[in-house]
Chains A and B, each alone.
Chain A
């Protein structure tokens, strides 16, 4: 089976930096994905890591360490609109994504 652990809630203020961690257990690991979901909305794709290291996309970055079965999503220069739920997800080769329970990020002014 597969399991993912991520914090249930994180709070931060505008302009700050926040890191959302994700640890996973799965056989045949292929990659780690991150999705954002606003209240009442659909999950939207943020990033994908298959290799160790940091991937940067604007204010968001995602990191993966395959040896530690660990990754994180880094959000910089936080804005109010970043308040949302963030999900990490893993897949094995040829299989569909399995999602974690999500982290609710609340950004205050």
Chain B
């Protein structure tokens, strides 16, 4: 099992540009999560999907952020337009279900720098 796969690993972009982060969850996992990590705010939940349906997007900072999960094996997180305060490590994670007892498997993350 290749685990949760995220791309790109690093992204440097200019303020105002569109950024798309990608995630392939573990096959058979029904829940997918997007988290953002910064020193100041720690690990923040942005959005999570269950069976490809968004369940809770209350953590999405503002309208500049959007996430999709068109099928069970792919999700995207888009920021348009990007701002310097969006600089962070973005993690995608998947789990058999949202119940935490199975544990979440995290991808290696995308380190985003907006200049």
The chain A residues found within 8 Å of chain B, CB to CB, are: 30-31, 33, 35, 41-45, 48, 50, 87, 89, 91, 93-102
On chain A, the residues within 8 Å of B43 by CB distance are: 43, 87, 99, 102
* CA distance in complex: A97, B95 (Å): 11
Q: Knowing that A50-B101, A95-B98, A96-B48 are A-B contacts, what are 7 other residue pairs whose CB atoms are under 8 Å apart, sorted by A's residue number? A: A43-B104, A43-B106, A48-B103, A91-B100, A95-B56, A96-B33, A100-B42
Cβ of B87 < 8 Å from any Cβ of A? no
On chain A, the residues within 8 Å of B55 by CB distance are: 94, 96
* CA distance in complex: A95, B107 (Å): 20
Cβ of B13 < 8 Å from any Cβ of A? no
Interface string of B89-115 (1 = CB under 8 A from A): 001010000111101111111000000
* CA distance in complex: A59, B106 (Å): 23
On chain B, the residues within 8 Å of A96 by CB distance are: 31, 33, 45, 48, 55-56, 98
On chain A, the residues within 8 Å of B44 by CB distance are: 99
Mostly, the B contact residues are strand
* CA distance in complex: A43, B42 (Å): 12
Contact of A91 among B42, B91, B93, B98 (CB under 8 A): B98
* CA distance in complex: A32, B80 (Å): 35
Contact of A89 among B56, B98, B100 (CB under 8 A): B100
Name the CB-closest residue of B to A47. Answer: B103
* CA distance in complex: A49, B103 (Å): 11
Q: A99 to B33, Cβ gap below 8 A?
A: no
Q: A48 to B100, Cβ gap below 8 A?
A: yes
On chain A, the residues within 8 Å of B35 by CB distance are: 99
On chain B, the residues within 8 Å of A102 by CB distance are: 42-43
On chain B, the residues within 8 Å of A48 by CB distance are: 100-101, 103
Q: A97 to B100, Cβ gap below 8 A?
A: yes
Q: With A95-B56, A96-B45, A96-B48 in contact, do A33 and B103 touch (Cβ < 8 Å)?
A: yes
Name the CB-closest residue of A to B103. Answer: A45
